[in-house]
Amino acid sequence: MTVTKLLNLPLEKVLFHSLRRGGQFADLFYEIKTETTLSFENDKLEKVISGTDAGLGIRVIDNFHAFYAYTNVITESSLMALAAQLSEMVALSRKPLTPPRISPLKSYAHTIKIPPEAVALDAKTIYLEEANVAARSFDKRIHQVKIIYRDEEREILTLNSLGEQTTEKRVQTVFLVHVVANDGQTLETGYEMLGGIKGLELLDGDSHIRTAETAAQRAVTMLEAPFAPKGEMTVVLSSEAGGTMIHEAIGHGLEADLAQQGLSRYSGKMGETVASPLITVIDNPTLKNRRGSYHVDDEGTPSQKTILVEKGVLKSYMYDRLSAMKDKTQSTGNGRRQSYRYRPIPRMSNTYIAPGETDPAEIIESLKNGLLVKKMGGGQVDTVNGDFVFEISEAYKIENGKVLHPVRGATLIGNGPKILSEIDLVGNDLGFAIGTCGKDGQGVPVSDAQPTLRIPTIIVGGRS
């Protein structure tokens, strides 16, 4: 069912039926999503997955507790039955809300140059074939190449008990190349990923070729590299590394629900100094065509730029409606969900450290002995105390301000709040990375970014 047809149903009646026994707030969320995934491996198209899913969820908030249910049977009778079930979960302790006047529908969309549905499957497959050839021809030691292409068109509708209603259409496209290099003794991997609120213009020109070559080069470079030194040293995080460490080391800790539950190192520290005065952290879903961008969040709240940390001082958490109600403040537009099957929770969007004033070349030249990190890998973070361990996918030894040779097998071990407090140089550049962020069993598209950063002392795990 399209959003247009859905609007012919008595949605206002359904919504307020869920509040017939009382409640502080209620909203409904409808989603229809069409997606296509292509997997290319072993020199051929291995898998094609395509389909459409649609459903509607209703939430009632009472006494700062959320009750949520959903269905993919979209009829008046099924929705009224779902609303009735939710109403039974609410304590009969207050009068039902008086239905407000419903505001005019606000509709949003993003500028998409080449809609994925306008491109045939065969034409999409050509991008994967060409990327496969580019990766394999890069070096004879390239052993395996896997390429994933995914496009998604998602249209949502929200309606709440304040009378607000919105729709937004979002198109996401992702292109990922994963390469394994093998010299007979050692295996090394390299990957590179593109993505955003874009259609097939994501792969305009030779961007798919360059993505494949970057992944291949990374694998071969690490194959030839000696093992990284270990111990405490100065590390420069290049802007090319993206904001993975920032996302994990501080981002989750600034999501309001975790802070309210005492599951964040930043709980109860509003207005306190939590980082170096050189550090400003921003979450901004209003950025154009970034993977974590949107006009309204999954509760219908308009997106906004939120300064989380300003010159080292904690200024705000990221709020959805429920967490904002608990803190008696306004949502920052960070209520997000994977699909209609999930309730909204506070999530990051496009999260980054703002650029500073130092030339990145000067930061590298300032190192007498240390490491330059150009690509981060996976990692683990304890949001309660901020401790983290991150793998490094691409790194280089630096001596006397000169980049010498690549090193492999390195990890970064440290504490997020401590590292953010000690950063002493911030570059005037900014580099983005993309991903899918997991929390509470659901994933949402995000991007993160940082300028070039110098960490005076951090533990590097290695073998030499």
Q: 311: exposed, middle or buried (C-beta count within 10 Å: 0-12, 13-18, 19+)?
A: middle
Q: What pLDDT score was predicted for residue 173?
A: 98
* Tokens at 354, concatenated: 């703002």
Q: What pLDDT score was predicted for residue 77?
A: 96
**Cα gap 321→140, rounded to integer Å:** 54
Q: 246: exposed, middle or buried (C-beta count within 10 Å: 0-12, 13-18, 19+)?
A: buried
Cβ atoms of residues 434 and 446 within 8 Å: yes
Share of the chain above pLDDT 90, in %: 84
Q: What pLDDT score was predicted for residue 13?
A: 94
Task: Please give the full DSSP string across 201-242, using - where no structure is assigned.
Answer: GGG-TTHHHHHHHHHHHHHHHHHHPPBPP-EEEEEEE-GGGT
Q: What are the DSSP E strand ranges found in 330-386?
A: 335-336, 345-346, 350-353, 369-381
**Cα gap 282→462, rounded to integer Å:** 32
- Lookup result for tokens 């209703």: 58
Q: Tell whether the model's pLDDT for residue 412 goes beyond 90.
A: yes
| Average pLDDT over every residue of 421-429 | 97
Find all residues with CB under 8 Å of 231, minimum gap 6, and list them.
Answer: 459, 460
Cβ atoms of residues 236 and 371 within 8 Å: yes
Pairing of strands 106-109, 165-182: parallel
Cβ atoms of residues 392 and 377 within 8 Å: yes
pLDDT in tens, 118-158: 999 999 999 999 999 999 999 999 999 999 999 999 999 99
Cβ atoms of residues 110 and 171 within 8 Å: yes
Q: Kindly report the CA angle at 290 between 378 and 173, in degrees rounded to 5?
A: 80
Cβ atoms of residues 333 and 433 within 8 Å: no
**Cα gap 122→337, rounded to integer Å:** 32
Q: Tell whether the model's pLDDT for residue 32 goes beyond 80.
A: yes
Cβ atoms of residues 340 and 438 within 8 Å: no
Q: What is the pTM of this model?
A: 0.94
Residue 301 burial (CB count, 10 A): 23
Residue 119 burial (CB count, 10 A): 16
**Cα gap 358→25, rounded to integer Å:** 48
Q: Kindly report the CA angle at 449 between 200 and 216, in degrees rounded to 5?
A: 60
Q: How confident is the model at residue 430 (pLDDT cuts 50, 70, 90)?
A: very high
Q: Which CATH superfamily is domain 3-224 in?
A: PmbA/TldD superfamily (3.30.2290.10)
Q: What pLDDT score was predicted for residue 382?
A: 83
Residue 53 burial (CB count, 10 A): 14
Domain boundaries, the chain: 3-224, 231-461
Task: Please give the full DSSP string across 68-114, using - where no structure is assigned.
Answer: EEEES--SHHHHHHHHHHHHTTS-S-SPPPPP-PPPPPEEEE---SS
**Cα gap 32→117, rounded to integer Å:** 15
Cβ atoms of residues 337 and 443 within 8 Å: no
Q: What pLDDT score was predicted for residue 94?
A: 64
Averaged pLDDT score across all residues of the chain:
94
Cβ atoms of residues 331 and 395 within 8 Å: no
pLDDT in tens, 265-315: 999 999 999 999 999 999 999 999 999 999 999 999 999 999 999 999 999
| Average pLDDT over every residue of 160-181 | 97
* Tokens at 23, concatenated: 């409640």
pLDDT in tens, 329-379: 999 999 999 999 999 999 999 999 999 999 999 999 999 999 999 998 877
Q: What pLDDT score was predicted for residue 145?
A: 98
pLDDT in tens, 46-100: 999 999 999 999 999 998 999 999 999 999 999 999 999 999 988 766 666 777 7
Q: What pLDDT score was predicted for residue 244?
A: 80
Share of the chain above pLDDT 70, in %: 99
Q: What pLDDT score was predicted for residue 243?
A: 80
